[in-house]
Chains A and B, each alone.
Chain A
């Protein structure tokens, strides 16, 4: 009886449902990207994700997310390119230190598949993005994995002499892995 009352209070105190996952685990989260350089496919990644998110598989439409990615810590897959990527022509980390994704709507695609529609802000430019993702529940919480394709030109990533898409392709594949714990 007493325990039941406490659960009730907890649910009332937390506007998200009691089952919602809300704690972002930075160690278990990362954003990978795939790009082409003169026909060569290369992979890089961002780590150190922060932000707030809430997801309850029973009520996906109530999900919220605001994820921030520090761009200075970019790993391009090429040691020489990392410093360049943080510079003015690319991510301009000094002026725009974080990339941000804000979810506007999440809907179920059936099974453990969902789709998120939201806004991605990179280098001060905001564009709408949609990404299908898969949610895998486990004992601690769950893992979200999904992907979408963006055009670096839409965000002025790689300006000046780097604008040439025959050198570094315009299309960049983005694969995200996000861990939320209870």
Chain B
């Protein structure tokens, strides 16, 4: 099974469980945060999730997937913030330079950008 499919199935299960817990008749909106350095693509998660939610109370819900730009803490200069994009790598996707944007140190710790988070749902 592709890991994107597996992830979407887990998200779908949680949405349905939450719907049952709150006696929802419909789920109207689903909000997800997806880190740009995770190995999942927005399209992949959305497609599989919509498949999982067919014929459930969440069918037809609006799925909002917000992509999260990677942020890091620099162990050298204590900078905390977004990493710089690295178009110079010319690899055809958005990739981020694994260095501190302020002092160029590679001794950084990623604090955002690898998540795959179900943040909230709206229900009736």
Q: Do A and B bind each other?
A: no
B interface, CB within 8 angstroms of A: none
A interface, CB within 8 angstroms of B: none
